[in-house]
Structure 1
């Protein structure tokens, strides 16, 4: 099963790169696409840096969505309406690499792992059908609410409030606990479409169900990797709801960030970094909310 899961990661990488490049090529065949590409190139270096930093944090278990959203919004480096799609398409390649590296990190029950992965993919697929139809105002509201939820969960994680202080040893779930895990991971996959990163809430879920905390890494990284590659990513690409240049920068920069974190970094002040990210997340949520209110006033 381990080889099958890693094989799916490789297939997902090929699929993501192929679909993205084909869509970019089709866009560049039009005058509108060429103009958009020229505009997006202005922030290429910044967005590549975002990919490195965010996915470096991602590999350490902090997550990438919060960091990426904040850095995109603060600099205004991509259009708000493209943020959900760019997050889910651009981070696909680096997160698939993470999953490839972390599968086998903990000896986890196959049924538990596969069930939760499938649930996340289905949730993302269903959720993307709604988000890709949203206008900019709805995207801003969704991102504001999503980041507020994410920031609150991350704050609870930092303070060991709720399930985060629990230490379990189980490597398998059965009966009602397995059903609960699958249902909740389905909704966490759906929430990925509006910027609610899956890592922190999935970690809480793993903890409260009494599982070994190490099991969170293959579950949360595998969930994100597969839901991006086979769930919402292809939908965002099909609907052309992503920033072309930023997505490619995220792919390349993200892989660099993952490799630095996994192969070179041995110890980091994670708690300090997490607290900084939380403050930035709340500030970014405020910025999205402010812009959403401005949209309403204009209307």
Structure 2
């Protein structure tokens, strides 16, 4: 029964977001005010990021690195673009993994709802950030993700247990922490790595990390992304391209790919994330110095 409720709520959230997003895109496109960025490069970036996202690496950090490398998105609208563009690909992932991996329905539903509420609260704040705040927040957030991924690679994090659900105090901890992870998601810090760490630390089976973390993102992203759309705090053309090719990447990864050297790829991703974080923080320092200089003059 609860699983049906999960699917029903997810369907409603997704339809609401899709209508909001496509109406906004069509309106701006008709006015001839779409961004001039390369649709096909953005599509390639979206395909790659969401392909590896389906395998558990996460998409926000690699996507940020690639968008920065190809100079596709301004820093100010980067959080909104990440949330809007990855919403439908992540919903596709969640629908696949929730149906094939067994997880306690109450644990799943509680964590999904808490992350969604956190995202709505976070998006209301982040959508109004100026460029400097975004650069600082994302630079620090990416460093946190890199540290968590490094800890996982070096087996410094708890490796989990065999539970498929939580009760009592552990369930309360999971719900509260997932609320804050949902809020942080709107800054551009991916939920996968910290959510996986949380699940392992609470003694749950590593397998249930997939439906919980993907389901959490699928629930929170339509809500937070709709807020970014309404605030026009995202890149429409890049988001549409990543959405289309991202869904294709998810389906190929989920149904066609049997094995990849994930450990090697994860090391590469960690290096890229650290580089992107340093780039963001340097851009923040540069803007801060310019602002100080203009004030002194």
Q: What TM-score results when the alignment is normalised by the length of structure 1? A: 0.93
What are structure 1's unaligned runs of at least 5 residues?
none
The CA deviation at 1:158 is 1.0
Matched, 1:275 2:276: no
The CA deviation at 1:4 is 3.0
User: Of residues 52, 59, 71 in structure 2, which corresponds to 1:57?
Assistant: 52
Match of residue 12 from structure 2: 11
Alignment partners' CA distance in 1, 2:272 and 2:186: 20
Matched, 1:184 2:181: no
Match of residue 298 from structure 1: 290
Alignment partners' CA distance in 2, 1:263 and 1:28: 34
Contact 1:2 1:104 in 2 (8 A): no
Contact 1:84 1:193 in 2 (8 A): yes
Match of residue 238 from structure 2: 246
Matched, 1:45 2:40: yes
Q: What pairs up with 1:7-156 in 2 under 5 angstroms?
A: 7-28=8-29, 30=31, 34-35=32-33, 37-40=34-37, 43-156=38-151
Matched, 1:173 2:166: yes
The CA deviation at 1:5 is 2.4
Aligned residues: 290
Alignment partners' CA distance in 1, 2:123 and 2:163: 33
User: Of residues 172, 185, 201 in structure 1, which corresponds to 2:194?
Assistant: 201
Contact 2:112 2:216 in 1 (8 A): yes
Deviations 1:224-244 (A, max 9, x none): 0110012x1111011001101
Q: Secondary structure at the match of 1:91?
A: helix
Match of residue 159 from structure 1: 154
Alignment partners' CA distance in 2, 1:124 and 1:12: 13
Q: Secondary structure at the match of 1:39?
A: coil
Q: Secondary structure at the match of 2:163?
A: coil
Contact 2:123 2:227 in 1 (8 A): yes
Contact 2:160 2:206 in 1 (8 A): yes
Q: Secondary structure at the match of 2:190?
A: coil
User: Of residues 249, 254, 263 in structure 1, which corresponds to 2:255?
Assistant: 263
Q: What TM-score results when the alignment is normalised by the length of structure 2? A: 0.94
What are structure 2's unaligned runs of at least 5 residues?
292-297
